[in-house]
Structure 1
Amino acid sequence: MTHEKKPLVSTPILSVRGVAKRFVMHHQHGAELPVLDHADLDVDGGECVVLEGPSGMGKSTLLKLVYANYSPTAGDIWVRSASGDSVNLSSASARELVDLRRHTIGYVSQFLRVIPRVSALDVVAEPLTEDSTGDAQALALAREAAREQARHWLSRLRIPERLWGLPPATFSGGEQQRINIARSMIKPRPLLLLDEPTASLDKANTQTVIELIHEARERGAALLGIFHDAGVAEAVATRRVPVASFRKRAPTPSIQHPVGEPA
């Protein structure tokens, strides 16, 4: 005797509903600058959704809203945490946001922010040791295991071994960006935000980042990114979304283009 299985309803890892963002220009007598008016977007595990549109349309603003650097003026942003709970970033506590950033949301920005005088190796390894517990011996073992993984990432992203013990503040822009990518991606989180991750990279390292994005998708992560390099966007996107569709005076219809169709 056979039994039919009831289909499972999948909850998106990221769900943006009715999100608006307006900035108040205090130096201009409180004038308001509307950036997003009504953003609706779902991103499932295994997807890489690329935000498209010219500069100033709100692409980076949307990423910062999802990372909770900004609070939305209206609407809700739901994230399915690593533990499986859905958390509304619009009303989450400070403790919940810290937990989400540690375990659920990774963010590759265009800028590396690190503690001065900390070596590149420890900058990359640090996300793996944030929750380590136990006695001194257990903590030392956890730290060495994290550093071993960091060595692998630094090698893969072509950071010369002679630089591993130096602080990244002394590195070139491209080297700093590769440290940023390694630090943000070494810990496999369910949701990954990418703000121009290949902007400062050469061809070989750009190809490595494309491979890393495909690997993140294959393990089930949801990715939301901005790529001004059309070739990179084409290589990683499973879906493209015009940010103009999130604005009232959108010059293009509210359409999400499947990969391969013209925007």
Structure 2
Amino acid sequence: MAESHEGAATSTTGPDVPVAFEDPGYREAVVDLLGVIAYAEISAFERLAEDAKLAPTLADKVALAAMATAEFSKVAAIHDRVRTFGGDPFEAMTPFRLPVEQFHRHTAPADWLESLVKAYVGDGLANDFYREVAAYLDPGTRDLVVTSVEGGEHAAFVVDRVRAAIAADPRVGGRLALWGRRLMGEALIQAQRVAAERDALSALLAGGVDRPGLDLAALGRMFTRLTERHAERMALLGLDS
């Protein structure tokens, strides 16, 4: 779980109107964060719809199409939240097209099983990071982010298919374990690039007048949690992290 921050984003006029709303830097950071999440959802929709073509059965194709639809269904609420901060959702997404698309180019799955591992492990890692950042947001935005990155209903499907494939051919496990480690490495590289290029996001984690931030120790604990949750997902799939 993300670290608790009592009093973060304290309201002045209501439960969803924190002091931070008066801070242009905070508004910019939230618009950036929502922009990258929204574009990631759109990109996930496109990728999953494309990966459905690799499905070995009609049932698998329908399951992946359902995952794609679920991703796209979250976009409208994120766009609405961007507008409440005075931002344009399409302008908010634009800076993140290149890094998100670069990640997907560098991690294009070679087959059906790799696409499943990417959907479960790769997207899971990104979503874990967004949940961590959400701890530093106002209540309304925090709740939206947490809701937007939920996707546990699809986990059982992916775990079942990957474990069945490994049982049928144990050699598959080694290849997919390497693939999972590559996904994590590429995700961390892209996250670092985005943070380096978007000053507002970096400032968000540093805190503000009404929001405690991350010091080096807390940052280290956050990455430890991300690594541990990645290992847990890999273990559920029957893979070594």
User: Which structure has the bigger radius of gyration?
Assistant: 1
Q: TM-score, length-normalised on structure 2?
A: 0.30
Structure number with the higher strand fraction is: 1
Structure number with the higher helix fraction is: 2
